[in-house]
Chain A
Amino acid sequence: MASKKKLSLVAVAGAAALFASAAVPAASQAATTKTIAFVMGAINDPFFNAMKAGAVAEAKAKGVKLVWQGDVQYSPATQIPVVDQVLATKPDGLVLIPTDPVALQPSVAKAKAAGITVVNVDTHVNDLTDVVSFITGDNADGGAKAADALATAMRYTNGKKYQVVVGLTSATATTNVARLEGFTKAVAAKYPGIQIVDKAYSQSDSAIANTNVNNWLTKYPNLRGIFAIDGTNASGAAAAIQAKGLIGKVALVGYDAYPANVKLIQKKVFSALIAQDPAAEAKQAIDTLVDFWAGKTSTIVKNVVIPNVVLSGTTSKADLKAFTYVA
């Protein structure tokens, strides 16, 4: 699940200093086609499938060869052997989604030693010295956007009280942490009437998320809104709202544009869905590598943040389609 990604949103301070020490581009090997290997977190996740679609399109556009690898589990223990295999095939560039900021650090060093250019996407290793660029979706911003969407859906007016709950997957998954932090900060700053009365964890299981929401709806008869922090929580909460006949009465803002959930925007079950843009992240990664090899280092940004998008009833059909994760 996208939510399991370990993403520490440590601000990359002193980017300039790091920049100076970045690897000198290898002399361009001219005519030969460059190979870029992507190593995923969990290869079947719809989030990464969407990323793949973006990567395939951009690789074609830029004339590079794309290698797509990853284990089914989101785990450093299974990812490291995959990275080793990929490095053995000597690609020109490695786009790595490290499943752990510490455990994957040696793999980056190994790649660098072999003359392979490394980019991090979505999550990053702790020491970015050997990493040309780190590209990620802005989860904190996504959380803030969720707060805005929820306030709008509840027709927030100052002076009134609004009870809301947050359904999470885990207390430590960094995407969850960042989204919750963004949400909480925005609520505190802009919507003092919103009280976050409860939180619970679903362990990536929609049925558990459903149980949590069912019980909250019983416990808080005046509940006005739910923020479901990822795809599985969104599915579970949507089912609870439908089963209890509360569509339009309890506002629901979800995360991740699973096709099934995007459809529920039209049914007004979701007031809004916050979506990441993995295809844009992949495109950015390929462009960065191509620019790097072409010597255009001045155009490369060390830390790229790609904003999350809000999908709601007013989003155009074309945009809904474009941002829906590939199943």
Chain B
Amino acid sequence: MTSQTPIYEARNISKSYGSVDALVGVNLKIHAGEVVGLVGDNGAGKSTLVKCLSGAHQPTSGQMLLDGKEVEWKTPHEAIEAGIETLYQESGLAPDLSVSSNVFLGREELVKGPLGRLGFLAQKSMDKKAHEDLERVGIAVPASNRAVSQLSGGQRQAVAIGRAVSWASKIIILDEPTNHLGARQAGEVLNIIERVKSEGFGVIFISHTLPHVLQVTDRVAVLRLGRLVADKPTSEFNSETLLGTITGLIGE
């Protein structure tokens, strides 16, 4: 499981928007069963890097390798197909749909036979599988046919992560998954991330909440003004040194 080849790797990635250099020569490696924290101040380039990794944007230069093979995403869909799931900060759930409908959104199971060709859904089977998938990562949702709008904020975030887990085969990118959550609910989400890691996924965890980063990650990559300024095991940071690295008080 802990092979030397990273499961996902960004090499020398740069991204400019017109004359603005959002990312300059960034390198990042994620191994299977590893949670990598991605931190930095606002405007440090976290979102840009996430967008490049998830296929939403194309880097201006540089390479990306999945399982050691060079890849290029033209659309987010291509990245999803390759096993990279991204959970954006804006909630990625449709609140009026049920839990299982959300988990299977865009990848619905159809009934067998001619009705399936007309697009009829195998709803019972999806309800059951969604429930199983969520339980696997420790998410207990009362009923998978319940509308997401009826769940608490923490439950929603758990379902969103559960959705990503049940579809990702390699990498899960979580953009501020503990934002706007109470302490108990955030704790539940961090527990889920631990479970996800133990399932052998590579996880990229983006957060402003440094205690969460220190608690859940194995390694932390720090971005400042579009450049990677640190990439070290989490054990080498404490909250002061991490903050110092982000702000540039402790530097290169």
A touches B in complex, CB < 8 A? no
- The chain A residues found within 8 Å of chain B, CB to CB, are none
- The chain B residues found within 8 Å of chain A, CB to CB, are none
